[in-house]
Amino acid sequence: MKKLPPEIAASLLAVTTVLIALPPYHLPPWAIFISWAATFAMGGPTPRNLRRIWPTLPVGSLFAFLIVLGFRQASGHFTGTSFIVAQMVILFCLNASMMALARFIPMLSFIPGMFFGFASYFATLFGGFGPVPHDPLVALGAVVAMNALGPAYAWLKDRLSAPEAVSKGKAWQGAELEA
């Protein structure tokens, strides 16, 4: 099978995300792009990197979900400054707990992956994505599924495309533009 140019392979995969965002599911396609880019930022979809990123993405989303639930619970008990302090305590405790997992569970040592999942969850929930907009549990399911697709898309892009050629002395590598 002849391999595609990388920009064609990546673009063909990218257009499939348009379908993901359509009703009735209204899933967050950008969550795919976040974890797809994260996979390449960590060096590409090698077996080692996939084993590092896939477990951490849902952990980050789960902790973001717990923070949302904690904030909602606190809103029923606190107001004003005491509510802000309660939010700070909840965020501190859950964020520190999430990061501490990396110290004790080697499979979760890729902390940036947790934060990609963490940020993706908040954007999904507060952006109203998913079949039931603004539902914390539905947002969790939607973002976990979409973040899981990102590394798969990275893997597919590499399998469908020819190796990328690195040109010497071009602007992309920081050299001055040719006159």
Rounded-to-integer distance, Cα 39 and Cα 113, Å: 9
What are the extents of the domains in the chain?
44-162
Task: Kindly report, residue by residue over 31-75, the tens digit of the pLDDT.
Answer: 999 999 999 999 999 999 999 999 999 999 999 999 999 999 999
The pLDDT value recorded for residue 172 is 45
HEC-encoded secondary structure of 36-80: HHHHHHCCCCCHHHHHHHHHHHHHHHHHHHHHHHHHHHHHCCCCH
Across-strand partners of 4? 161
- 66 φ, ψ (degrees, to nearest 5): -65, -35
Rounded-to-integer distance, Cα 153 and Cα 156, Å: 5
Report whether 116 contacts 42 (CB < 8 A).
no
Cα–Cα distances (Å) from 13 to 10, 60, 156, in that order, read 5, 25, 8
Q: CA end-to-end span of the chain, whole Å?
A: 39
Task: Kindly report, residue by residue over 86-131, the tens digit of the pLDDT.
Answer: 999 999 999 999 999 999 999 999 999 999 999 999 999 999 999 9
Average pLDDT over residues 26-33: 96
The pLDDT value recorded for residue 171 is 45
